[in-house]
Every structure is written in C-alpha cells, then in structure tokens.
Amino acid sequence: MASKKTGKKTSEKFGAKADFIRNQPENMSAKDIVDAAAKQGIKISVNHVYNLRTAAAKKSDAPLSSLAAPKRGPGRPRANAATGSNVEQQLRAAIAEVGLQRAREIFDAVAAAFRGR
C-alpha cells in the first residue's frame, strides 16, 4: 500500500528564497539575511545562505580549463639565462640612466653602509 506524502504547500515560486539571498549585498552577514527574510515571511537557514554564496563564488571564479594558464610549482620563477633576471635588467637600466661614474659612487656608498653594520 502506498503511503501518502504530507507536505506543506508553498505559495512561493521555485527559487524565491535563492533569489532573495542573491539580491542581498555581499557584505551583509548570513544572520542578517536570515533576519531580513523572516521579516518578509521567508523561512531560510544560515546554512542555506552559506551554501548559495559558496556555489555562486565557485561558479563565477571557475576558469575554463582550456583557457587556464599552466601552473608552475612552488618557488621562484625561472630567470631567463640569456637576458638575466628582471632585477638585473632594472639595475642595468638605472646605471645607463645615471651614468657609470655616478653608479660607482652609489655602489661604494651602499658597500660602506653594509660594512658599517
């Protein structure tokens, strides 16, 4: 014999709770959203708010795997051996701008400061 299902009938359209949550500001706390929903006669839980926000964040932040850049493991990025590191290039550009004589004076002052430690 089949059992009868008893459930409450809702007059809300499907997704009304989710729409209510999505329309709230992102900086509004989950508890505040639950309280605001209760004032409007909508019964939701804090967990429902967290679940919807998490799902929305995952959906919007998920890059397409075909467009995602390949990841490099931990550590420093490789420096191009032919041209040197970015810092070295910046140093060379600075020396070219101030001149070799002035650069030597600066290096001597920095070396003296390190020796004085």
Burial class (CB in 10 A: 0-12, 13-18, 19+), 33: buried
Domain boundaries, given as residue ranges, for the chain:
16-61, 86-115
In the chain, the percentage of residues whose pLDDT exceeds 90 is 26
pTM: 0.43
pLDDT tens figures, 31-52: 999 999 999 999 999 999 999 8
The count of residues in the chain is 117
